[in-house]
Structure 1
Amino acid sequence: MENVYANVDLELSQISAKKRYQGSTDPSEHTSMPLRRMDSACLARTLMGLLLSALVAVCILAILYFNNVNSFKTLHEQYDKLLMKEDNATGCKKYGFCEEGWKSLGVKCYYFSTVKLNWTQSQDHCVEKGGYLVIITSQTEQDVISTHIWENHWIGLNDMQTEGIWMWVNNEPLNATGVTFWHHHVTGQYEPDDWKIEDPSGEDCASLGNGISYINNWFDASCRKLKQFVCEKENISF
């Protein structure tokens, strides 16, 4: 008999506990686990979105970088082919390297100064370093040099001997090279204009650029002005 009463009491207690659970008004008892699962899902989706955005940004930057690198590489390859063509025409081929401080572009070495000197001092400085102010003889060479400068630089061109007769530092006349890159103003004027307002003696020396603009064009300027400059020489053969 005692066992019967014990079983009845156990069943009643289980039924009471079940009713208490079903009749509970605390929402946390029923929703805490689903809410935690929803919060985790939202966080995962947010992190995934941020990750995808970062990957897209990295891809865009990589594309821009490689486009610039390939464009610059193509320019140098064109210059190398041009210089190789010149070597083949003379029946010889040069291989070598440049000294420290000089940039190797094709079969030539170029020195881009950081100091500013007048035109004569610039030429003397280039000679001391075993070269001379740069002589530009092609569109490709002009473009390659322009990509390395951010303001105007002296080049090896002047008409100091005879006004209007422009000569390179190797005594070759400008018209012998067949290329010129004088700047043409929107007003219709063009370089060289031998402007005498700043220097009564005129403008007898040529530079790449004018101030910090038009660095891919030539301007005549007073030889007394202080500018950076570009030297060139052949590379060291081995």
Structure 2
Amino acid sequence: MKKAVILLYLCFVVSAKRCSYPYRALGSRCYYFSTDTASWDEAFVNCIHKGGYLANLETLDEYLIIRYKLAGMKNGQHYSIGGRDFNRQVKEGNWRWVKASGNSKMSYFAFGPTEPGSRKRYPQLCMWLYAGYKYQFIDVDCTSVARYICEE
């Protein structure tokens, strides 16, 4: 337990990372948590305009830090992040982290129960952190709107 408290302290307090406005340090990275809502594509562009990209939670540690932060905010909001399914024809999809400079295959999955749930007829190719599943991943239609998290 003591190690967990020290880890959380290091993640949230002792960060030498300097972030440009409107980003804030969290762990070793800089994030912006929106208060407005947008579709996934709109959020992607909004993050580029803010000098970043939709958050790519490339490691399990990074995901857990964000999940803990969102749980502490207690606002019940869902958040778009930079995960996208590149091939809905494949069962469970071909999920990747997307940046303007390219994409990378996901190294872990933290999907909620019955997720991903995309169907050929009703594609759900974009990713949210879903409040109802304690901020686990869900796949959604890319036109659905939510708040979003940018990463610098």
TM-score, normalization: structure 1?
0.51
- Where structure 1 has 5 or more consecutive residues not aligned to the other structure, the ranges are 1-69, 82-94, 185-189, 234-238
> Residue 63 of structure 1 aligns with which residue?
none
The structure-2 alpha-carbon separation of the partners of 1:205 and 1:121, relative to structure 1 and needing over 3 Å to count, comes to same
- 1:190-223 per-residue CA deviation (whole Å, 9 max, x = no partner) reads 2101057xxx5421101101xx412331000111
The yes-or-no answer on 1:213 pairing with 2:132 is yes
The yes-or-no answer on 1:75 pairing with 2:8 is yes
SS of the aligned residue for 2:8 comes to: helix
> Residue 117 of structure 2 aligns with which residue?
193
> Residue 149 of structure 2 aligns with which residue?
230
Asked whether the 8 Å contact 1:76–1:144 carries over to 2, the reply is no
TM-score, normalization: structure 2?
0.77
Asked whether the 8 Å contact 1:76–1:106 carries over to 2, the reply is no
Instruction: Provide the aligned C-alpha RMSD in A.
Output: 2.6
The yes-or-no answer on 1:158 pairing with 2:84 is yes
Give how far 1:229 is off.
Answer: 0.5
Describe how 1:2-21 pairs up with structure 2 within 5 A: none
Asked whether the 8 Å contact 2:27–2:65 carries over to 1, the reply is no
> Residue 167 of structure 1 aligns with which residue?
96
Bigger strand share: 2
> Residue 24 of structure 2 aligns with which residue?
103
1:116 is aligned, of 17, 22, 37, to: 37
- 1:150-185 per-residue CA deviation (whole Å, 9 max, x = no partner) reads 3210010111x42111111131012xx2x210112x
- Where structure 2 has 5 or more consecutive residues not aligned to the other structure, the ranges are none
Asked whether the 8 Å contact 1:182–1:218 carries over to 2, the reply is yes
In structure 2, give the amino acid aligned to 1:232.
E
Asked whether the 8 Å contact 1:143–1:216 carries over to 2, the reply is no
Asked whether the 8 Å contact 2:17–2:30 carries over to 1, the reply is no
Asked whether the 8 Å contact 2:11–2:65 carries over to 1, the reply is no
> Residue 66 of structure 2 aligns with which residue?
145
2:46 is aligned, of 110, 119, 125, to: 125
The structure-2 alpha-carbon separation of the partners of 1:158 and 1:76, relative to structure 1 and needing over 3 Å to count, comes to farther
In structure 1, give the amino acid aligned to 2:78.
N
In structure 1, distance between residues paired with 2:126 and 2:144? 10
Give how far 1:78 is off.
Answer: 5.4
Higher relative contact order by CA 8 Å / sep ≥ 6: 1 or 2?
2
What is the aligned length?
137
Identity %: 27
The structure-2 alpha-carbon separation of the partners of 1:138 and 1:156, relative to structure 1 and needing over 3 Å to count, comes to same
- 1:103-127 per-residue CA deviation (whole Å, 9 max, x = no partner) reads 2023310000000000000010001
Runs of 4 or more above 3 Å deviation: 78-81
Bigger helix share: 1
